[in-house]
């Protein structure tokens, strides 16, 4: 080591050794733990010096005394080390002896350690290996002991001085960045040197001479990494070993080294990068497919790295730093978007500048090295946005109208497109690929109805799945799809229709009263296509008579004779031309129409007959030589219609005496005295029942009868003087009760001629008939009759006096059929019944399902139908062995018996009234058969009350007394039935300023169009209804005139189309100003004053009674009304009791709800009379209103 280098000469300078060891000592002296409070102290010789030379083989103890100050440990712990830190001995004594320890320099330290110190400081350990990780420790300043042996001890007289070497400007250590191509030249200052020769040398830290430069300044950029020392050496001429590669320890001669300058040559090494997944230096990423965009950079050889600081840096392709300070090499490059990124590894010594985001990698300064750059190529396909040529993203095409089905997709902004493999793709609605092209033009018609979607596909490289038949949702690769633009291909299909019997033509007769309602049905409902369908009916020339029909049900009767054609039209969206009065050929839009099915409406017209003298009645004298031939003629042959015509002649009862006559000439003489009636019958097709002996009423078929013209046949020379006088019974009465169960008085009655002297005639007889005039017995000469065998019922006895021969006075004939010279007396009546009534049969009480005893049945109402249900009110009150429902006509003739359910279809009976009874009997009864009468039923039985069905052919004009009850801000309208019977609202119209709505076409929220008394029906979202201002008119017909107006309402500032009409009809007061409904308050009916509705605003109560219905008559008031006589003929009296109405309005309605009378009276007198003589026979309703109370009642008008 250094002892050979330094002391193999004759002279020695005592300053050499401390200078030689300065660098090594400075390194060791810095070894102490950071944030450590221990201090090794200031350590010197007792003379204050820090170096000493001793001779260790002279046999004399050295006795080196030391002084330690400011140390924190007690006792001290001294370490003796080689110049390179290896511990050769330890002690606690401050006096040192090196005799016999050999030669060479050593250092002496005190080491102070903390409680957490774990380092090794025994002999053989190296203090240079201590780090802060070993815990808290501190080394004192050192004392250098140069141990000399042998002749080296004589070298103390060498007089050279290497001097004090320092950097220019001070300092003895410099750090340079080697290998960066930048000059690191520095200059030095040398003081205090002397000697015959001087030279510069550079050594490593082991003393190996690296270079012998000529002179400063020194530039070590190319020297590579490491630490070296620069020295000045002063020497005598005999110096040996000063050459590059030699060890400074081997220098021989008299020399001295200056203090060294330490040069730390930092040369960072950043190594070589690759990507972890494939060990390549470039990777291609797709930003479209959702896959990970995280990349991992990997060092190929971490052992080659050099530097105190290291980081990964990522830049764009231009070198702009996107991220720095990354320690793990993992980067998510997706957020940077399309382009390239380059990743580097940067190692450095100490601080560098410019490694910040936004800076350029070329502007980084400091001592650093960059690895190779590894590149991420980020590909992001952009298919842009497409539309059709009109700018829309959806186009609707019609495949029915023959228009072009070519569509063209275009780009909204071509500049943003990105991709190397691009095309347009068209799919069906489920994404199945139908085709691809580069132009964006497609003919979508061949695909048929449905939806197609067009996309633009932009991609990089191969894309899998973009083949016809594939699905666009299964594409794989780096690609982007544009928005999809849709073609909706509508192809309406109306299917085919027929009538219910499967035919395409139906022939109807308008004469026979049969239904003229036809029903078109869809034959192929599963094949229909469209969102706007309707049945349309036209005349034979195609003119539209009705459109918008949803049911296929049409009443073709009102159109009169002719042909109608029904079509089914199915469309997508609105069509034009489908309005009444238009032509079916002029329809436009996207629609399909079926073949038409035809209704042929035959209406025979028999015209009008007169006799050839223009009269409708003619007297034919049967006297000898009188002409009995009559001639019937047609008044207007142009009006006739039919393909089978004839004249028919009947007797006065309608029995056909002759048919098939083509000329209207009849000889009525042979028929004798009586009446004949001649008709003209015209028909389409064959008729039945037009045979002699048949009845005119029994003719069936499609026919029309003219008026009948009458021939009165009699002997004109009238010398008939027959006189029948007057009859009574024995007790002088004209009506007598005969008890069929009275065995004492019996059932024999005696008719008495009051004044036999007044009787005149060749022949006389008593005749007995039933209640209808049918002769039960004739030829009786005594006036004595046993009426018991006839059973329960009425018989009438007459006295008949005649001159000459008469005809028709036979049993089974009728009084009207007797002809000849005769006279009938008055009729006297026997009422036959069982007087001893121990029959306990009890039939209870009937109502209909709605609780009423009278119901209207509309024969033209296909919705509610004509089936009615009778209900027994209290089954527990019924008593009897046998029960049945019986239905009769209005005259009591039994139409059906034996019904056990109470269900009757009254439609086939046609227009008129039917009455349903419940009949309960004990034992056998007779007469309860179809064709009989209620009066003819005998036995132990009881009949319930009768409940009435009123059958109307057309109910368009029927409404009952219905009113508008409430209007809400949600567009709801509520209707209330004030009638005492159920009404059918189907054919009513609710008309606003912007819409005309038939009620059966509206959406109901609650209630029914078959509306019971006192019930309401609520309609939602009434079309055309304005909330802030509008009017509502309720009509009972599609003819919007005053006579058909049922109720009216106006609010806001609406002028209204029907305001004037409502005022004129007395339904509205021009002074009324109503506030529009709001979400908090609806418009509600209160009452009617003077026949005009009174309204107020209140909390909405749809489907419930109005909030404050002051118009509802409070029964607690105790006011009642009595009508008499009831039934009434000429004048109806009204008597009030329990209170006073005062000034009031009396309104009379018929059964259809039509207002017939409006009268003002002061009812404080409590008795008033109103005229009824002008009213037709029937049932009527009377309403009394004074603005606070309303009373209603019913009365019957007789002829």
Please compute the mean of the pLDDT values over residues 311-332 and round it to a whole number: 93
What's the average model confidence in pLDDT over 310-337? 92
Considering only residues 1145 and 470, tell me which one the structure prediction assigns the higher pLDDT.
Answer: 470
Q: For residue 1011, which phi and psi values (nearest 5 degrees)?
A: -100, 120
- Whole-number Cα distances in Å, 954 to 181, 856, 986: 114, 11, 12
Predicted pLDDT at 1084: 86
486 has a pLDDT exceeding 90: yes
d(C-alpha 251, C-alpha 461), whole Å: 73
Mean per-residue pLDDT over the chain, rounded: 86
Give the model's pLDDT for residue 1023. 87
pLDDT single digits (tens) 1113-1167? 333 344 566 777 776 777 887 876 655 556 677 778 665 455 677 676 665 555 6
Q: What is the pLDDT of residue 1188?
A: 56
User: Using 50, 70 and 90 to split pLDDT, how confident is the model at 523?
Assistant: very high
Q: How far apart are CA 522 and CA 528, in angstroms?
A: 9
Tell me the three-class secondary structure of 38-56, residue by residue.
CCCCEEEECCCCCEEEEEC
Residue with tokens 């078109």: 520
CA 351, 354, 358, 362: dihedral to nearest 10 degrees? Answer: -130
| pLDDT for position 23 | 41
- The dihedrals phi and psi of 670, each to the nearest 5 degrees, come to -60, -20
Beta bridge partners, 398, equal 490
Looking at residue 12, what is its pLDDT? Answer: 37
The pLDDT score that the predictor gives to residue 4 is: 32
Span 61-65, mean pLDDT? 92
Taking Cα atoms as reference points, which of 1083, 1084, 1167 lies closest to residue 1133? 1167
So what's the pLDDT on residue 27?
43
Residue 566 predicted with pLDDT over 80: yes
pLDDT at 954: 59
Third-level CATH fold of 42-148: Immunoglobulin-like (2.60.40)
Q: Taking 90 as the threshold, does the pLDDT of residue 436 lie above it?
A: yes
Checking if the pLDDT of 159 tops 90, the result is no
**Beta carbons within 8 Å of 65's beta carbon, 6+ residues apart:** 45, 46, 94, 95
Element (H, E) at 23: helix 22-29
3-state helix vs strand vs coil in the chain, percent to 5: 10, 50, 45
The whole-number pLDDT of residue 24 equals 45
Mean pLDDT of 1039-1043: 79
What span, in angstroms and rounded, lies between the C-alpha atoms of 127 and 121?
A: 7
Q: What is the pLDDT of residues 233-258, one digit of tens each?
A: 999 888 999 999 999 888 988 888 99
Model confidence over 643-695: pLDDT tens digits?
999 999 998 888 999 999 999 999 998 877 788 999 999 999 999 999 998 99
Percentage of residues in the chain having pLDDT higher than 90: 53
pLDDT of residue 134: 92
Q: Which pLDDT belongs to residue 1009?
A: 86
Tens-place pLDDT, residues 224-234: 899 999 999 99
N residues, the chain: 1199
Could you check whether the bond before residue 193 is cis, i.e. omega within 30 degrees of 0?
A: no
1042-1063: burial string, b at 16+ Cβ within 10 Å, e else: eebbbbbbbbeebebebbebbb
Instruction: Give the per-residue pLDDT at 958.
Output: 52
Instruction: Choose between 988 and 1110: higher pLDDT.
Output: 988
Determine the 3-state secondary structure of 678 from DSSP. strand
| Residue 916 contacts residue 902 (beta carbons within 8 Å) | yes
Span 710-750, pLDDT tens digits: 998 877 765 678 899 999 999 999 999 988 877 777 899 99
Between 1183 and 875, the higher pLDDT residue = 875
Read off the pLDDT band of 185 (50, 70, 90). very high
């Amino acid at each position: 080591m250094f002892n050979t280098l330094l002391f193999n000469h004759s002279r020695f300078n005592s300053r050499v050794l401390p200078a030689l060891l300065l660098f090594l000592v400075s390194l060791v002296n810095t070894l102490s733990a950071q944030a450590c409070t221990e201090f090794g102290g200031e350590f010197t010789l007792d003379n204050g010096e820090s170096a000493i030379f001793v001779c260790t083989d002279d046999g004399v103890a050295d006795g080196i005394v030391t002084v330690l100050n400011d140390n924190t440990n007690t006792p001290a712990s001294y370490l003796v080390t080689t110049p390179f830190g290896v511990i050769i001995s330890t002690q606690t004594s401050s006096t040192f002896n090196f005799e016999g320890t050999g030669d060479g320099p050593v250092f002496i330290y005190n080491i102070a350690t903390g409680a957490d110190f774990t380092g090794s400081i025994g002999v053989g350990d190296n203090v240079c290996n201590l780090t802060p990780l070993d815990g808290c420790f501190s080394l004192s300043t050192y004392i250098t002991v140069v141990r000399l042996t042998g002749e080296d001890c004589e070298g103390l007289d060498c007089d050279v001085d290497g001097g004090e070497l320092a950097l220019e400007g001070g300092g003895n250590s410099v750090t340079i960045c080697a290998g960066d191509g930048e000059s690191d030249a520095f200059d030095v200052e040398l003081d205090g040197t002397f000697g015959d020769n001087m030279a510069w040398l550079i050594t490593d830290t082991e003393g190996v001479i690296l270079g012998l430069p000529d002179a400063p300044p020194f530039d070590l950029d190319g020297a590579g990494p490491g630490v070296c020392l620069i020295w000045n050496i002063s020497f005598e001429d005999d110096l040996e070993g000063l050459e590059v590669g030699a060890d400074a320890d081997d220098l021989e001669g008299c020399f001295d080294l200056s203090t060294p300058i330490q040069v730390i040559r930092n040369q960072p090494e950043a190594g070589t990068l690759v990507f972890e997944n494939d060990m390549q230096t470039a990777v291609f990423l797709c930003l479209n497919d959702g896959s990970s965009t995280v990349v991992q950079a990997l060092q190929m050889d971490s052992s080659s790295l050099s530097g105190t600081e290291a980081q990964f840096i990522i830049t764009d392709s231009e070198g702009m730093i996107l991220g720095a300070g990354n320690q793990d090499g993992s980067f998510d490059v997706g957020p940077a978007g399309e382009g390239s990124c380059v990743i580097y590894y940067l190692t450095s010594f100490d601080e560098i500048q410019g490694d910040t985001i936004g800076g350029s990698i070329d502007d980084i300064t400091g001592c650093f090295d960059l690895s190779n750059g590894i590149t991420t190529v980020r590909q992001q396909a952009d298919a842009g946005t497409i539309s059709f040529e009109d700018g829309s993203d959806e186009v609707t095409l019609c495949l029915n109208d023959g228009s072009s089905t070519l569509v063209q997709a275009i780009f909204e902004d071509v500049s943003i497109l990105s991709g190397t493999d691009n095309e347009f793709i068209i799919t069906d609605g489920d994404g199945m690929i139908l085709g691809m092209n580069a132009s964006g033009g497609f003919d979508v018609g061949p695909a048929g109805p449905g939806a197609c979607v067009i996309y633009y596909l932009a991609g990089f490289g191969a894309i899998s799945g973009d083949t016809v038949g594939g699905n666009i949702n299964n594409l794989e690769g780096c690609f982007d799809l544009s928005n999809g633009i849709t073609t909706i291909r509508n192809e309406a299909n109306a299917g085919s229709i027929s009538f219910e019997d499967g035919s395409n033509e139906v022939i109807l007769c308008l004469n026979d009263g049969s239904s003229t309602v036809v029903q078109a049905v869809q034959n192929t409902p599963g094949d229909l296509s469209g969102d706007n369908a309707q049945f349309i009916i036209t005349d034979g020339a195609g003119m539209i008579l009705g459109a918008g029909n949803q049911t296929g049900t049409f009443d073709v009767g009102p159109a009169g004779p002719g042909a109608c054609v029904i079509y089914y039209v199915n469309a997508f969206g609105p069509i034009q031309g489908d309005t009444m009065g238009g032509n079916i050929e002029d329809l436009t839009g996207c629609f399909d129409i079926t073949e038409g099915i035809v209704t042929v409406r035959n209406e025979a017209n028999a015209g009008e007959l007169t006799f050839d003298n223009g009269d409708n009645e003619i007297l034919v004298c049967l006297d000898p030589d009188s002409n009995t031939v009559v001639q019937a003629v047609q008044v207007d042959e142009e009006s006739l219609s039919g393909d089978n015509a004839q004249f028919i002649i009947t007797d006065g009862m309608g029995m056909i005496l002759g048919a098939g006559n083509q000329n209207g000439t009849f000889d009525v003489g042979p028929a004798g005295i009586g009446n004949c009636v001649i008709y003209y019958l015209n028909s389409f097709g064959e008729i039945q029942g037009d045979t002699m002996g048949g009845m005119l009423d029994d003719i069936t078929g499609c026919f029309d009868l003219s008026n009948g013209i009458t021939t009165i046949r009699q002997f004109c020379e009238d010398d008939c003087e027959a006189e029948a006088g007057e009859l009574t019974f024995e007790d002088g009465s004209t009506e007598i009760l005969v008890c069929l169960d009275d065995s004492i008085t019996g059932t024999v009655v005696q008719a008495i001629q009051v004044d036999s002297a007044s009787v005149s005639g060749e022949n006389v007889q008593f005749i007995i008939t039933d209640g209808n005039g049918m002769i039960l017995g004739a030829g009786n000469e005594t006036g004595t009759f046993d009426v018991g065998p006839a059973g329960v019922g009425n018989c009438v006895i007459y006295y008949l006096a005649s001159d000459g021969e008469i005809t028709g006075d036979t049993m089974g004939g009728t009084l009207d059929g007797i002809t000849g010279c005769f006279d009938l007396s008055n009729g006297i009546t026997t009422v036959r019944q069982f007087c001893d009534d121990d029959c306990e049969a009890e039939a209870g009480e009937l109502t209909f399902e709605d609780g009423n005893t009278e119901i209207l049945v509309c024969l033209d109402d296909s919705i509610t139908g004509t089936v009615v249900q009778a209900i027994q009110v209290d089954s527990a009150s019924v008593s009897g062995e046998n029960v049945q429902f019986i239905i009769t006509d209005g005259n009591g003739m039994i139409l059906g018996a034996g019904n056990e359910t109470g269900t009757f279809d009254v439609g086939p009976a046609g227009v008129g009234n039917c009455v349903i009874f419940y009949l309960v009997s004990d034992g056998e009864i007779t007469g309860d058969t179809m064709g009989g009468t209620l009066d003819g039923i005998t036995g132990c039985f009881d009949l319930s009350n009768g409940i009435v069905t009123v059958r109307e052919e057309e109910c368009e004009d029927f409404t009952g007394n219905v009113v508008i009850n409430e209007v809400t801000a949600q567009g709801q309208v509520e209707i209330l039935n004030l009638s005492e019977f159920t009404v059918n609202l189907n054919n009513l119209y609710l008309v606003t300023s912007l819409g005309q709505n038939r009620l059966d076409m509206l959406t109901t929220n609650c209630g029914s169009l078959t509306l019971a008394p006192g019930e309401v029906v609520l309609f939602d979202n009434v079309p055309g209804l304005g909330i802030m201002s509008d009017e509502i008119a309720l009509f009972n017909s599609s003819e919007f005139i005053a006579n058909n107006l049922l109720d009216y309402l106006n609010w806001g500032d609406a002028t209204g189309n029907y305001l004037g009409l409502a005022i004129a009809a007395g339904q509205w007061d021009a002074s009324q100003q109503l506030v529009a409904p709001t979400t908090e308050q609806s418009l509600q009916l209160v009452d009617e004053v003077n026949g005009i509705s009174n309204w107020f605003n209140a909390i909405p109560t749809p489907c419930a009674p109005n909030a404050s219905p002051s118009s509802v008559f409070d029964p607690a008031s105790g006011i009642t009304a009595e009508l008499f006589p009831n039934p009434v003929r000429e004048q109806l009296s009204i008597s009030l009791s329990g209170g006073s109405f005062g000034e009031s309005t009396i309104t009379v309605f018929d059964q259809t709800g039509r207002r017939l009378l409006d009268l003002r009276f002061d009812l404080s007198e409590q008795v008033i009379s109103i005229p009824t003589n002008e009213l037709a026979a029937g049932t009527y309703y009377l309403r009394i209103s004074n603005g606070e109370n309303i009373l209603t009642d019913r009365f019957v008008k007789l002829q």
